[in-house]
Amino acid sequence: MAARKAKKLMQGNESCFEGAIYAGCRFYAGYPITPSTEIAEGLSRRLPQIGGKFIQMEDEIASIAAVVGASLAGLKSMTATSGPGFSLKQEGLGYACMAEVPCVIVNVMRGGPSTGYPTGPSQSDVMQAKWGTHGDHPVVALTPAYVQEIFSETVRAFNIAEKYRTPVIILYDEIVGHMREPIIIPEPGELEVIDREKPTCPPEDYLPYDRRLEVPPLAAFGEGYRFHVTGLNHKDDGFPTNDSKTIEEGVKRLIRKIDNNRESIWKNDGYYLDDAEVVVFAYGSTARSARRSVRMAREKGIKAGLFRPLTIWPFPDKALKEAVKKARGVIVPEMNLGQIVLEVERNCPGMAVTGIHRVDGEPINPKQILDAIEKYR
Amino acid sequence: MEDRYELRFSGSGGQGMILAGIIMAEAASIFDTKIAAQSQSYGPESRGGASKAEVIISNEPIDYPKATAIDCMLALTQEACTKYHSDIKKGGILLVDSDEVKDVPQGDFKVYRFPITETARAALGKTIVANILALGMITGLTGIVTASAMEEAVLSRVPKAFQDMNRKALQIGFEKARELVARS
């Protein structure tokens, strides 16, 4: 008899760091903050066991800088934080976008602004994930909702980061981060793990920002390829430039490398969408609440459905438009005062879009969403 | 057919309510054959303040992980009882520590009173196992997990040196639950 794989009761944050290790993460730098601390705590124990490095830095700015440095030295790297820490990391995040450094940043959201409400759930950093750092830049953000899913989405985050040489944000709330569910850790090889492409040309021919390529290969420092890295607009060799054509082409390539590959980065989950007359668009723990509401609505004979994005940025406009084809309205519950609802409105012109918002540190419960659905009876 | 069962463990920060929730979830989903989701809510302080853990047990994947219609609630302090009892459903169970909870809420639910913390202290010399004793009582009162699954879950969570004490606490809980049910 084949051995049954061990099922373990695991916390969302634990699932995250185990997923990171599975994906090949071997460097973590961070500054602990509730409700993300268990990720740092877990990796401080796990990374040294497998030859990885863990550093608790003096603050969040230094943490993201260390992560960028370690990634350029060839290690898959990550950091984790929450609201105020995510604010501090924005400059480094922009640098990683510009310098095209693969890395993963986990933001377990908490209430804000400022230090806000550390132990309560929130989804108020969704727009910050997209626009928190300045300048036109590509953003990939994933929004898992289940403990098992945090594991697989963390692996996917590293894969996207490595494949497209870009930072990837994992965005979830305190409920998902702190809750425990039984999960099964996949065997090695069961989930795809992608490593960055390295140059094969002679070092003197290497162009780390070659505009002719969608994603130029990335050499690791210390392996014989000498190159320059900067946050300034740069030429193909990495050195700063004032040439307007080079600047424009460089920025556009950054955007294009994600834009052209949206289909492979997007991931959604649907529940009763086929004939849905009212679609609930929800992510993270709010989507679990919404799933229950949809089920309750169906029991009452109301044709409700759930659209749940696992990739929130780039925004899943194409799939959403498809999902609302037969709908009379869209309901968007989120634990903020109205963020992703704006994006939904923009993509569902002429349709009634209703937001359900909550910022009191309590989750949006199924009854609240069901009340809004029942208006479509 | 969905078979959703909701439990809430409440008390003061430091009384082991979150651990009680974890053990209940493990008993159900690892040592029994059900599915469980455990969540928690606590203030910024590490001791004191009202603290609660919730466990949803079902025979199918769990969507909303928080309690909304509670089948069984434990309250070890008055503050927690007053703050958290309102979600107990009709026909549900409320188990209170009778030394702490004097103002017992009235409602369409069954109340069991028992000096949980004091019994742990008197029988085992440690109030720290009050949460395990309570788990034994809840197992007995609800039957939501088997006694053997609960025992395995408790023993897998405590260090070897403390296994006897925790096993005893659990046994006392099982017995007291039987007595309470017989009396009511």
CB atoms within 10 A of CB A257: 19
Instruction: Give every residue of chain A whose pLDDT is below 70, as ranges.
Output: 1-5
Residues A106 and A81 sit within 8 Å (Cβ to Cβ)? yes
Query: Which DSSP state fits B77?
Result: S
Q: What is the pLDDT of residue B45?
A: 61
For tokens 């390295």, the residue is: A198
* A157 min Cα distance to partner chain B (Å): 24
Residue A2: what pLDDT? Answer: 40
Domains of chain A: 7-184 (3.40.50.970), 268-374 (3.40.50.920)
Q: Do A9 and B39 touch (CB under 8 A)?
A: no
Query: Which residues of B fall within a CB distance of 8 Å from A179?
Result: 37-40, 65
Give the per-residue pLDDT at A1.
36
Q: Does A15 touch chain B (CB under 8 A)?
A: no
| Signed CA dihedral, B150, B151, B156, B161: sign only | positive
Separation between Cα atoms, residue B131 and residue B170, nearest integer Å: 9
Nearest Cβ partner for A292 among B29, B40, B64 = B64
Residue type for position B32: D
Give yes or no for a contact between B150 and B170, defined as CB atoms under 8 angstroms apart.
Answer: yes
CB B92 within 8 A of CB B71: yes
Q: What is the pLDDT of residue B2?
A: 73
All residues of chain A having their beta carbon less than 8 Å from the beta carbon of residue B30 are: 7-9, 182
Residue with tokens 């188990």: B95
pLDDT surpasses 90 at B124: yes
Q: How many CA atoms lie within 13 A of A353 on its CB side?
A: 19
Q: Where are the beta strands (DSSP E) in A148-301?
A: 167-173, 180-184, 268-271, 278-281
| Structure token pair of residue A367 | 């009854």
End-to-end CA distance of chain B: 31
User: How many CB atoms within 10 Å of residue B131?
Assistant: 28
A130 to chain B nearest CA, in Å? Answer: 27
Q: How far is A335 from chain B (nearest CA, A)?
A: 15
Return the residue matching tokens 């945090």: A150
Contact A292 B44 (CB under 8 A): no
Beta strands per DSSP E along A147-210: 167-173, 180-184
Residues of B in contact with A8 (CB under 8 A): 30
From the list A7, A288, A295, which residue is nearest B30 (CB)?
A7
Which residues does residue A184 pair with via DSSP β-bridges, in sequence order? Answer: A7
On whether any CB of chain B is under 8 Å from the CB of A292, the answer is yes
Question: Between A and B, how many CB-CB pairs are < 8 A?
Answer: 61
Residue type, B51: S
> DSSP 3-state assignment of A11?
strand
Q: Beta B88-97 vs A76-81: how paired, if at all? A: unpaired
| CA B101/CA B18 separation, integer angstroms | 20
Q: Which domains does chain B possess?
A: 5-183 (3.40.920.10)
SS3 assignment, position A204: helix
The reply to whether A182 touches chain B by the CB within 8 Å rule is: yes
> B68 and A367 in contact by Cβ < 8 A?
yes
Flag whether residue A110 sits within 8 Å of chain B, measured between CB atoms. no
Residues of B in contact with A289 (CB under 8 A): 63-64
Q: Do B62 and A181 touch (CB under 8 A)?
A: yes
pLDDT tens digit string along A273-304? 999 999 999 999 999 999 999 999 999 999 99
Q: What is the ipTM score, two decimals?
A: 0.94
Mutate to test the interface with B, among A4, A7, A8, A9 (most CBs of B within 10 A): A9
| DSSP secondary structure letters along A301-313 | T--EEEEEESEEE
Cα-based distances in Å from A55 to A31, A32, B161: 9, 11, 34
Task: Dump pLDDT digits (tens) for B14-51.
Answer: 899 999 999 999 999 999 999 999 998 876 666 678 88
Give the chain B residue nearest A293 (alpha carbons).
Answer: B64
Which of A7, A33, A172, A181 to mutate to probe the B interface, most B CBs <10 Å?
A: A181
Q: Which residues of B touch A (CB under 8 A)?
A: 22, 25-26, 29-30, 35-44, 62-66, 68
Smallest CA–CA distance, residue B113 to chain A, in Å, is: 29
Per-residue buried b or exposed e for B39-65, using 16+ beta carbons within 10 Å of the residue's own CB: bbbbeeeeeeebbbbbbbbbeeebbbb
If one counts every other C-beta atom within 10 angstroms of the C-beta of residue B102, the result is 9
Query: What does B80-132 look like in DSSP terms, one character per residue?
Result: HHHHHGGGEEEEEEEEEETTT--SPPPSSSEEEEE-HHHHHHHHHS-GGGHHH
- Cβ atoms within 10 Å of A297's Cβ, excluding its own: 25
